[in-house]
Structure 1
């Protein structure tokens, strides 16, 4: 049986999260991070009498306050995550659908305030494993730059 060729992605891509927002989010592809993370704010955990849920707001475009989307998702876990600055924090984990190029698959996302970071989303190795090959010298191999979106400053932390 022949191995399926995996598509090549760049070090940054526009990733669609259709269950959360109607427009894609600029993500840094980060093979050094195990889990994926997305910027969230006004995050509130609640229970509807059954499984725990979380509601949060999402700004998909870096350094822009609009558009913003209200999101609700089931909480699938809480994890201790070591951030890029070395600190540990407990984060809520949700599962959602991701789209990149022709691929569509389920990913786990931790919710974190990434407002001051270079990217609103990190796509970690657990999400890209067995789906893609990374070309670290290129950007937007499977997506096109969103018109009117601000590019993240190269000097900001990821």
Structure 2
């Protein structure tokens, strides 16, 4: 049996933060079957800033019972067609922002999508797991500490 000492083990669900968006205490579902990560967002509005394409949106946090949201802005990386497991294709905005999970922080691309019907507001896909050098033990949940970052590091933009 091989072991991988340089990789961090995470559970099927973990607490994450998006420091550059000013979002902390967000529960993420880890999905190795999804290539791209996804963030629950509504009221998405594209705009230009200094000749570059940006997007403004409400990031939804918390649970269906205790819903919170935060107005965010991030530079637009791309538009991407995502095909769901049932074959339905949808064009989504893609942003890149920092993700904090445990003691690791790295840039991750997220598609912005309405995940209202989903239990988890953030889905962490395989590209993010590879970039973060993470392996998943699906038999455990919330094994990493909640990410902590100073409030002075928070800003209203998602440029990373």
TM-score computed with the length of structure 1 as normaliser: 0.84
User: For 1:105-141, what per-residue CA distance to the aligned partner results, in whole angstroms no more than 9, with x for missing partners?
Assistant: 0000000000111211100000011511100010011
Q: Distance in 1 between matches of 2:75 and 2:107?
A: 14
Q: Distance in 2 between matches of 1:119 and 1:22?
A: 15
Q: Can you give the 5+ residue segments of structure 1 that lack an aligned partner in the other structure?
A: 145-158
State the match for 1:149 in structure 2: none
TM-score computed with the length of structure 2 as normaliser: 0.83
SS in 2 for 1:16: strand
Conserved? CA contact 1:17–1:24, under 8 Å: no
SS in 2 for 1:59: strand
Q: After superposition, where does 1:6-155 map in structure 2 within 5 Å?
A: 6-64=7-65, 66-130=67-131, 131-144=133-146
Conserved? CA contact 1:28–1:122, under 8 Å: yes
SS in 2 for 1:19: helix
State the match for 2:151 in structure 1: none
CA shift in 2, pair 1:116/1:22, >3 Å: same
Moved over 6 A (4+): none
Q: Distance in 2 between matches of 1:6 and 1:63?
A: 33
Conserved? CA contact 1:59–1:65, under 8 Å: no
Q: Distance in 2 between matches of 1:50 and 1:71?
A: 19
Q: Distance in 2 between matches of 1:64 and 1:44?
A: 26
How far is 1:66 from its partner?
A: 4.1
Q: Distance in 1 between matches of 2:41 and 2:67?
A: 14
More helix by share: 2
Aligned residues: 142
Q: Distance in 2 between matches of 1:23 and 1:95?
A: 17
CA shift in 2, pair 1:83/1:21, >3 Å: farther
